[in-house]
Chains A and B, each alone.
Chain A
């Protein structure tokens, strides 16, 4: 089973090919029948212009979706099989073997086989061997990642069967989703930087395709483009980092790079800060950190299961995964780690404060995701990579549950996404409510729920962190993280209160349609809610041997020659105090949210908004970051800068080509005359004299076979005659 590692990404790839092929087939035949000629009319008729129309269209009036049954089976089964194979491979290698540092590598083929020995870069002692394999690597980190990626992915595929059931683009949707799973698994399983980059770009592409899934809606298409362009900035940093790693180590293989770095840190350490910062730029783009986070809230234009899978649970955590994967390099570059920690901490509190006042259910969750990703980077930044990855996993469970729950709410309300027009859904859609509440408790850090353990691990690590020359920094970051925990609890319970409690505030027409979602949607919700509770129990710090996740993941933390000794296990009282602080902050947040919002809008928040209109407007306009980016980069750099460049070009630069053009024109007039009268005269003269000379011979060429045969016969006769008579 463990040697079938390559089959894990292969199943979704096959699913993508089958679904895509069938979709194109049905699309083409249907398109021709419907339109007669292949014009640009989208054959998926645009839906009514609600926010997220997919879940809403629960009513008839749709024609049968071709191959729907096959799309359903292939789309979900391919991911289900990938999940089975993933767990099969993990248990075949063995949890024990993995947690004691076992690495299982399956090499498929040599991808770049040049193997030329040449010295690369200016780092002394480096001999480059340009060899890259397509190979997959299963160690404790990738095992954890493929485990929850395939499992959560499978649940979301199942959910999509119900959610997208009436969408005309059903096949296209599943094809993209399968392709995404393929790319994500390649990213996670890759055993070298280049293959990881392939997966990295693949998930970016699928993200773009799925955000712009409703391509006829300008907002969705624009959001897709925005995500792609912003990600490109990050990807550029990532690829520069890969160049740097190749220049330093002469290989891209994870194992070789990390063992080389760990064995001989002194040689590479001076260059690693730059390399790690480049890699981190990639992570910032993919994982939506300040300043490149702007694409993620807009990405909510995609269907809700996509938001759950790609923009909450899996793809956006790829940056954290990459930083954790390169932890050996990052630990040798303390300056880069400081940057990681500061960016993470700042993003966490920044996004959480925006989330306080958003009114779109998915936007709240989007900012929450950005904020939680900041948490993970904060953990990595203080060197607690295990805590960061732990939070990646628990976050995948409860955030997927929250997004799918919000999808269920949107489904029930026929596409309504504004929480000001919700309320009172507690009794109407009880399963959605209960699962959503469990996930909310988990993200808020209520004890015994999953988020509590991972968040607590991060907070403890931040508090204990030590930065050279900046003794105040850990405490400041800890304060920010603690405040973020409070804000998170507050805005999540504000969301729950406005959505599920109080009186219903929407239209009567929508109210009559409210219904619980079908079972394909509620069962994934229930499973994810259960995982949001138990998913954190593997990291129970206080009990003896309760923390399973740390020994499991510790093999990814290669021992460093120069590493400072691990901080001693801090005393119990301090740990309990830290825990109590985070629980208290979360409790205050929950209490305030329930007190202010349980009966709908509430007077306190309105009065606060009146009292501090500047603060409120800044928050609800997301600190005007989009506007600033628009002014600087789009209007400023691109348009205004373009205009300036155009002026310079037209007045200064064009003098040169214009002058050159005038000279060239004069010269070319001369050459043209020479050509026309002298050269052409010669050529034409030869031609016409030949034509005149051969006018007579031309007539022999009649084109008739019989004439030629006659000439041949006559010639033969003449030759024979001459031979016979003049012998």
Chain B
């Protein structure tokens, strides 16, 4: 069988769903970061698939941008993780609720 864009979209959707699920339910800060990474990569996959399908390089360029931004996001996220851990001696995100109304 040939691999159509639908397959890519399916994989991408699954990846995104898994990532979103992780972000919503997991309590560990690090896992949260990894889940976000998963979602970003799902989007990348989507962009590249459409780029290939439409023969337009803009999508790939955007994917490269996303990867760059993801690196920055990871760095900042890890830095936040460390300072959070130093403050609270835990990685549980439920502890981070100072802004509660």
Q: Residues on A close to B: CB < 8 A?
A: 698-706, 709-710, 713
Interface positions of B from 29 to 73, Cβ below 8 Å from A:
32
Q: Is the CB of A710 within 8 A of B24?
A: yes
Instruction: Return the contact of B20 from the options A702, A704, A713 (Cβ within 8 A).
Output: A713
User: What residues on A are CB-neighbors of B20 within 8 Å?
Assistant: 709, 713
CB-CB < 8 A to B94: which residues of A?
704
Whether A709 contacts B24 by the Cβ 8 Å rule is yes
- Let me know if A703 and B101 touch, CB within 8 A: yes
A-contact bits for B66-101, CB 8 A (1 contact / 0 none):
000000000000000000000000000110111111
**Which residues of chain A are within 8 angstroms of B98 by Cβ–Cβ distance?**
703
A706 B99 Cβ-Cβ under 8 A:
no
Please pick, from B23, B25, B96, the residue contacting A703 in the complex, using a CB distance under 8 A. Answer: B96
- Alpha-carbon distance A354/B41, docked complex (angstroms): 101
Given A709-B23, A710-B24, A713-B20, verify A703-B100 contact (CB < 8 Å).
Answer: yes
Tell me whether A701 and B24 are in contact (CB under 8 A).
no
A701 pairs with B23, CB closer than 8 A: no
- Closest 3 A/B residue pairs (Cβ): A701-B101, A703-B100, A703-B97
Taking a contact as CB atoms closer than 8 A, the residue among B23, B24, B100 that contacts A702 in the complex is: B100
Q: When chains A and B are docked, how far (Å) is the Cα of A153 from the Cα of B25?
A: 85
| Chain A residues with CB under 8 A of B23 | 706, 709
User: With a CB–CB cut-off of 8 A, which chain B residues contact A703?
Assistant: 96-101
Contact, CB under 8 Å: A702 / B93: no
CA distance A703 to B100 in the complex (A): 4
Min CB distance B98 to A, Å, is: 6
Distance between Cα atoms of A269 and B23 in the complex (Å): 93
Complex CA–CA separation, A706 to B93 (angstroms): 8
Q: List 26 A-B contacts (CB under 8 A).
A: A698-B101, A699-B101, A700-B101, A701-B99, A701-B101, A702-B101, A703-B96, A703-B97, A703-B100, A703-B101, A704-B93, A704-B94, A704-B96, A704-B97, A705-B93, A705-B96, A706-B23, A706-B24, A706-B25, A706-B32, A706-B93, A709-B20, A709-B23, A709-B24, A710-B24, A713-B24
B47 smallest CB distance to A (angstroms): 18
Collect the chain B residues with CB atoms within 8 Å of residue A699's CB: 101
How long is the Cα–Cα vector from A703 to B99 in the complex, in angstroms?
5
In the complex, chain B residues whose CB is within 8 Å of the CB of A702: 97, 100-101
Q: In chain B, what residue has the closest Cβ to A713?
A: B20
Specify the chain A residue showing the minimal Cβ separation from B20: A713
In Å, the complex CA distance between A705 and B26 comes to: 11
Binding site for A on B (CB under 8 A): 20, 23-25, 32, 93-94, 96-101
B99 to chain A, nearest CB (A): 4
**What is the CA–CA distance of A705 and B101 in the complex, to the nearest angstrom?**
13
Q: Give B84 Cβ to nearest chain A Cβ, in Å.
A: 11
CB B90 to nearest CB in A, in angstroms, measures: 14
CA distance A713 to B101 in the complex (A): 21
Which residues of chain B are near A710, meaning CB under 8 Å? 24
How many angstroms from the CA of A710 to the CA of B93 in the assembled complex? 14
Q: Which of A698, A699, A701, A703 has the most CB of B within 10 A?
A: A703
Query: Please, which residues of chain A bring their CB within 8 A of the CB of B32?
Result: 706
CB distance from A719 to the nearest CB of B (A): 15
Task: Tell me, in angstroms, the Cα distance from A703 to B24 when the chains sit together.
Answer: 14
Contacts of A713 in B (CB 8 A): 20, 24
When distances are taken between beta carbons in the complex, the residues of chain B under 8 Å from A709 are: 20, 23-24
CA distance A704 to B25 in the complex (A): 12
Shortest Cβ distance from A351 into chain B, in angstroms?
76
Residues of chain A with a CB closer than 8 A to B24's CB: 706, 709-710, 713
Question: Residue on A with the closest CB to B21?
Answer: A713
Shortest distance between the CB of A696 and any CB in chain B (Å): 11
Closest to A707 in B: B24
CB nearest to A701 among chain B residues = B101
Known: A704-B96, A713-B20. 11 other contacts (CB 8 A): A701-B100, A702-B100, A703-B96, A703-B97, A703-B100, A704-B94, A705-B96, A706-B32, A706-B93, A710-B24, A713-B24
Report the bound CA distance from A612 to B55 in whole Å.
Answer: 126
B36 to A, closest residue via Cβ: A709
Among A698, A701, A706, A713, the most chain B Cβ lie within 10 Å of the Cβ of: A706
State A698–B20 Cα separation when bound (angstroms): 25
Q: In the docked arrangement, what's the CA distance between A699 and B101, Å?
A: 7
CA gap between A702 and B97 in the complex, in Å: 7
Complex Cα distance A601/B48, Å? 116
B9 to chain A, nearest CB (A): 14
In the assembled complex, the Cα of A698 lies from the Cα of B101 at a distance in Å of 6
Q: How far is the CA of A327 from the CA of B5 in the complex (A)?
A: 103
A253 to chain B, nearest CB (A): 63
A701 to B25, CA, bound (A): 18
Expressed in whole angstroms, the minimum distance between the Cβ of B16 and any Cβ of chain A is 10
> Min CB distance, B82 to chain A, in Å?
17
Which residue of the partner chain B has the closest CB to A698? B101
Q: Which residues of chain A are near B101, meaning CB under 8 Å?
A: 698-703
A705–B25 Cα gap in the complex (Å)? 11
Complex CA distance for A706 and B97, rounded to whole angstroms:
10
**A412 to B32 Cα, complex, angstroms:** 86
Contacts of A701 in B (CB 8 A): 99-101
A703 to B101 alpha-carbon distance, docked (Å)? 7
Task: Give min CB distance, B29 to chain A, whole Å.
Answer: 10
Q: Which residue of B lies closest to A699 (CB)?
A: B101
Which residue of A has the minimal Cβ distance to B98? A703
Nearest chain-A residue to B23 (Cβ)? A709
Instruction: Determine the residue in chain A with the shortest Cβ distance to B99.
Output: A703
CB proximity of A305 to chain B, nearest CB, Å: 61
A697 to chain B, nearest CB (A): 8
User: Least Cβ distance of B85 to chain A in Å?
Assistant: 16
CB neighbours of A698 from chain B (8 A): 101
A706 CB contacts on chain B under 8 angstroms? 23-25, 32, 93
Expressed in whole angstroms, the Cα–Cα distance for A23 and B28 within the complex equals: 58
Closest to B25 in A: A706
Q: In the complex the two chains form, what is the Cα distance from A713 to B24 in whole Å?
A: 9
- A705 vs B22: C-alpha distance when bound (angstroms): 13
Report Cα–Cα, A700/B94, bound state, in Å: 15
Closest Cβ–Cβ distance, residue B87 to chain A (whole Å): 15
Q: Tell me the nearest residue of chain A to B97, going by C-beta.
A: A703
A705 to B32, CA, bound (A): 11
Q: Closest residue of chain A to B95, judged by CB? A: A704
Look across to chain A and name the residue whose beta carbon is closest to the beta carbon of B27. A706
Shortest distance between the CB of B12 and any CB in chain A (Å)? 15
Q: What's the nearest-Cβ distance from chain A to residue B40, in Å?
A: 14
Min C-beta distance of A418 to chain B, whole Å:
73
Residues of A within 8 A of B25 (CB): 706
Complex CA gap A700/B101 in Å reads 8
Q: How far is the CA of A669 from the CA of B101 in the complex (A)?
A: 39
Min CB distance, B96 to chain A, in Å? Answer: 7
CA A704 to CA B99, docked complex, whole Å: 8
